[in-house]
């Protein structure tokens, strides 16, 4: 067995042990060359995507990971509908009211809002949302990314927003963003949920009303940029 085959076999075994990845229903294609692992396929949700990337990146001999994993959306929509939907989300979000916004399609930009406190440039291709530009805080960057994930039809988010002036990231920043996102989600009772983080691993505790709310709160935390793992200790009342 050559090195490449040994590495992919090791990773495949790790994926099989992680029930959230569910290779039986959502197979993942792997290629390993010169220390670079490429993962490609459709996965059930953001948790499966991030767990696969973490497990693949942690395998012995892997120096880098090329992410071609896409989340299967609950509702399939064309790129135009996704672009319009996300544009509406960003325009309606009070926290981002002072941020300029432009939507791009086939090299043509449509100015949606002029503002002097940063800018967001959005584009959608094959269900993948790309965010570029500049915002004033990590919370703004993370919120914009979550709004992209919330947009019906979205399959992945590439969050290239820069923060100016630069901020030092931390677990406290992550917790602030998770709390903000939970408060924004109308399907979640955020006041009943406690969030904490250590080394970008988020833990959720508290009471929720239904299993669906429990799952939604966990996914909201997974959507937050730089969250590596979510430990869901929420109990259904």
Strand partners, 170: none
3-71 topology per CATH: 3.30.1340
Tell me the domain boundaries of the chain: 3-71, 79-163, 171-236
Right CATH for 171-236 from 3.40.640.10, 2.60.40.10, 3.30.1340.30, 3.40.50.720: 3.30.1340.30
Q: What is the pLDDT of residues 119-150, one digit of tens each?
A: 999 999 999 999 999 999 999 999 999 999 99
pLDDT, residue 3, reads 79
Reported confidence tier of residue 156, pLDDT bands at 50, 70, 90: very high
Q: How far is CA 172 from the centre of its chain?
A: 18
pLDDT reading at 2 higher than 90: no
For a pLDDT cut of 90, what percent of the chain falls above it?
A: 96
* CA gap 77, 68 in Å, rounded: 19
Which residue, 144, 196, 141, 147, is CA-closest to 166? 141
Query: Is 113 in contact with 91 (CB distance < 8 Å)?
Result: yes
Query: Is 208 in contact with 234 (CB distance < 8 Å)?
Result: yes
Reported confidence tier of residue 4, pLDDT bands at 50, 70, 90: confident
pLDDT, residue 69, reads 98
Query: Is 172 in contact with 203 (CB distance < 8 Å)?
Result: no
- The shares of helix, strand and coil residues in the chain, as percent rounded to the nearest 5, are 35, 30, 30
79-163: which CATH architecture? 2-Layer Sandwich (3.30)
Whether 171-236 and 3-71 are alike in CATH topology: the answer is yes
pLDDT reading at 1 higher than 60: no
pLDDT reading at 212 higher than 90: yes
Q: Tell if the pTM clears 0.85, that is, is over it.
A: yes
DSSP line for 96-163: GTTSEEEEEETTEEEEEE--SS-EEEEEEETTEEEEEEEES-HHHHHHHHHHHHHSTT--EEEE--EE
Query: Is 202 in contact with 175 (CB distance < 8 Å)?
Result: yes
Q: What is the pLDDT of residues 48-105, one digit of tens each?
A: 999 999 999 999 999 999 999 999 999 999 999 999 999 999 999 999 999 999 999 9
pLDDT reading at 116 higher than 90: no
Mean pLDDT over each residue of the chain, to the nearest integer: 96
């Amino acid at each position: 067995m050559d090195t490449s085959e040994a590495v992919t076999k090791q990773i495949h075994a790790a994926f099989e042990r992680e029930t959230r990845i569910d290779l039986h229903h959502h197979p993942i294609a792997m290629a390993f060359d010169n220390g670079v692992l490429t993962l490609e396929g459709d996965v059930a949700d953001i948790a499966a995507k991030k767990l696969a990337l973490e497990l693949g990146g942690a395998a012995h001999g892997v120096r880098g990971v090329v992410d071609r994993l896409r989340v299967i959306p609950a509702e399939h929509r064309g790129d135009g509908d996704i672009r319009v939907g996300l544009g509406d989300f960003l325009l309606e979000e009070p926290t981002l009211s002072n941020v300029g916004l432009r939507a791009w399609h086939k090299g043509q930009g449509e100015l949606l809002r002029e503002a002097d406190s940063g800018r967001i440039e959005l584009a959608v291709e094959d269900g993948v949302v790309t965010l570029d530009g500049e915002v004033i805080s990590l919370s703004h960057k993370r919120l914009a990314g979550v709004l992209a994930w919330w947009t019906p039809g979205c399959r992945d988010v590439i969050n290239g927003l820069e923060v100016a002036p630069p901020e030092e990231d931390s677990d406290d920043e992550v917790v602030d963003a998770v709390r903000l996102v939970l408060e924004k989600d109308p399907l979640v009772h955020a006041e009943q949920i406690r969030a904490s983080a250590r080394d970008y691993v988020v833990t959720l505790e508290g009471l929720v009303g239904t299993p669906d709310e429990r799952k939604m709160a966990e996914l909201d935390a997974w959507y937050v940029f730089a969250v590596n793992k979510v430990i869901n200790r929420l109990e259904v009342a």
